[in-house]
Chain A
Amino acid sequence: GAGVSQTPSNKVTEKGKYVELRCDPISGHTALYWYRQSLGQGPEFLIYFQGTGAADDSGLPNDRFFAVRPEGSVSTLKIQRTERGDSAVYLCASSSTPDRREGYTFGSGTRLTVV
C-alpha cells in the first residue's frame, strides 16, 4: 500500500482480556518495527522483524507480549491478560532495508485503552 496501515485505530478492552493489533507495512518493505508510545513520552522500541523472523525482541516488556509476521508482510502484535499499564499508542514502522540510515515510515498507530 501507499503507507503503513494499522488497525484498529482505537481499541478499548477490559483488564485481563486478549488483544491483537495489526500492521500492514509498505509493500516490499522487509524491515518492520513495533514501538509503544505512552502519554508524554517518545516511542519505545518493542520488536524488530527482518522478513519473517524477529531479529530483536529485546524491547518486549514481558511474556504477555508477542508478535508475529508469518509471511514477511503483515505483522500482528498480541497482548495477553492486558493490564491498565499497557494503555498506550502502539506504533508500527517499516523500512525498505534493515539499514537504519534510511529512517522509518510510521503508521498512525493503534490507541489501546485498558479499562
Chain B
Amino acid sequence: AQSVTQLGSHVSVSEGALVLLRCNYSSSVPPYLFWYVQYPNQGLQLLLKYTTGATLVKGINGFEAEFKKSETSFHLTKPSAHMSDAAEYFCAVSDGGGFKTIFGAGTRLFVKA
C-alpha cells in the first residue's frame, strides 16, 4: 500500500534562507510524486510533479524537488524563502495502479522577516 510521511508538521525559516521540506514515501511500484501548496482558505495548488525521466523537477515559484529512489524521498527545496511562501505544503504519491492519490499530513511553512 502507498503511504507518505512528511517530517515536521511545522518548519520555520528566515526570509532569504533555504527552504527544505521533507517527504518520504512507500510504493510497491515506481510512483508518481507530487507537491501541492495550500494557502489559507484556498484549495490545493499543484506545485510540481515527478512521473518519469529527470529526477530533479522544477515547479512554480522557484521550488524544486528531487526524486531519490534509493532513499524513497522527494524533498522540496527553494534556495531563498520569501514571505509569500508561507503556506501549508502537501506531498502526495500515486502508484499508477489504482485511482487514488495519497497525501501526507502536511507541513506548515512559516517565514520570518
Question: Which residues of A pack against B, CB within 8 Å?
Answer: 4, 33, 35, 40-45, 48, 55-56, 58-59, 91, 93, 98, 100-101, 103-109
Query: Is B51 interfacial (CB 8 A cutoff)?
Result: yes
A101-B102 in contact (CB<8A): no
Task: Find out whether the CB atom of B41 lies under 8 angstroms from the CB atom of A108.
Answer: yes
| Subset of 14 A-B contacts with CB under 8 Å | A4-B43, A40-B105, A42-B90, A42-B103, A42-B105, A43-B44, A43-B103, A45-B101, A91-B43, A100-B96, A101-B32, A101-B96, A105-B46, A109-B43
> How many angstroms from the CA of A56 to the CA of B43 in the assembled complex?
22
A interface footprint on B18-38 (CB within 8 Å = 1, 0 otherwise): 000000000000001010100
Bits for B88-113, please: 1 = Cβ < 8 Å to A, else 0.
Answer: 00101010101111111110000000
Give chain B nearest CB distance to A112 CB in angstroms: 15
Q: Mark B25-66, 1 if CB is under 8 A from A, else 0.
A: 000000010101000011111100101000000000000000
Residue among A41, A45, A56, A98 making CB contact with B106, cutoff 8 Å: A41
**Measured CA separation A107–B51 after assembly (Å):** 23
Q: A45-B101, A48-B100, A100-B96 are in contact. Are A106 and B45 (CB under 8 A)?
A: yes
Q: Chain B: residues with CB nearer than 8 A to chain A?
A: 4, 9, 32, 34, 36, 41-46, 49, 51, 90, 92, 94, 96, 98-106
User: Beyond A45-B102, A98-B99, A103-B34: 5 further Cβ-contacts under 8 Å?
Assistant: A35-B103, A100-B96, A100-B99, A104-B46, A106-B43
> CB-CB < 8 A to B32: which residues of A?
100-101
When the two chains form their complex, are residues B100 and A43 in contact, meaning their CB atoms are under 8 A apart?
no
